[in-house]
Amino acid sequence: MLLGWRDVAQGPFEVQRKDGSALLVECLVDDLTYRVRSNMGPAVFKQMPRRSFIIARLVTVGDEWMLSGPVQILRGSERGIAYQLALDMSLRTPEAVFRNPDKIALAWEHQRADRARFVEFFGTDLLVVPGEQTQERLDGYYTYRRDMVLGPDPKEVPAAVSMSLPLDLTDAETVALIYDETDGLGFYAEFGLVEEAFANPGLLRRRRWREQTLSYLEDDSVEPMVLRRLAARDPEKASVVFRRLLKRPRFDWSRDGEALMREVKPGYFDRPPRPRVSPLSERLAEFAKRG
């Protein structure tokens, strides 16, 4: 039971009704209904009338849930506060959304559609551009995506919302935008140097190419698929790259590549793949549109 408390349900919940000595609440983030008890007894639920909201953490006890820690109660008229919190959680912590298996399936569907739009716009799922152009190219894609979904008339649709890229990307010599089927959309600084090293392993004798390629191997933010894509272009040259980086003269990418990925990036394999997009419920989507 204690180990199960590592996986908690938390966020804003809308109170549905009392159910005997328990309370039925619906999470605004994952849209699941929870039957909740309190270790202070059912009298505490008198403060939580139907259609009010609670901001709480729930832990499992058998097949039910129990309030854990302090609880903030919001009146029904404070719905906007609860919705805004749920919206922020949905965007920032998608694992909270994915407590609902239906949300995972919907997110994969959204990600496939979004990737298809990316490929339509750029003509490829792997684009390498100068760092100074990355923000402009990304903004162009988000505008295209908005127009594909909502229509191009700016009088009828909101302005396209992009993301602000950090300086380590925009100041880089080159940046790769990769929209992978599983790992979603990612940005990889100085991809051009690593790409050149895989095409010409002799460049690894030079510090800049060697350090950047080694960083792709050691950095947990670079998924295995990035190295797999580079190695797939020429497995023999990829073998030479890893022999020189790792000082393993017998390394063979075709034979040893997957074992190496699991060795240097264990965290990636410790969890099942998850979509990189968070589907919103209809009510949160409507709330965000009004905002």
pLDDT digits (tens, 9 = 90+) for 6-63: 778 999 999 999 999 999 999 999 999 999 999 888 889 999 999 999 999 999 988 8
pLDDT at 215: 97
- How many CB atoms lie under 10 A from the CB of residue 141? 22
Q: Mean of the pLDDT values across residues 206-219? A: 97
Q: Mapping DSSP to helix (H, G, I), strand (E, B) and coil, where does residue 289 land? A: helix
Location of each CATH 2.40.50 domain in the chain: 3-99
Strand partners, 24: 17, 35
pLDDT value at residue 271: 87
**Residues 250, 238: Cα–Cα separation, whole Å:** 13
Looking at the DSSP bridge assignments, the partners of residue 29 are none
Residue 191 binned pLDDT confidence (cut-offs 50, 70, 90): very high
CATH dotted code for 3-99: 2.40.50
How confident is the model at residue 179, as a pLDDT?
98
pLDDT tens digits, one per residue of 124-167: 999 999 999 999 999 999 999 888 877 666 555 555 556 789 99
Among candidates 281, 282, 267, 289, which has minimal Cα distance to 97? 281
Q: Say yes or no to pLDDT of 65 above 60.
A: yes
| pLDDT confidence of residue 163 | 77
* pLDDT confidence tier of residue 280, bands split at 50, 70 and 90: confident
pTM of the model: 0.83
Mean local confidence (pLDDT), 264-278: 91
- Going from the C-alpha of 231 to that of each of 58, 80, 140, 224, 241, the distances in angstroms are 45, 50, 30, 11, 9
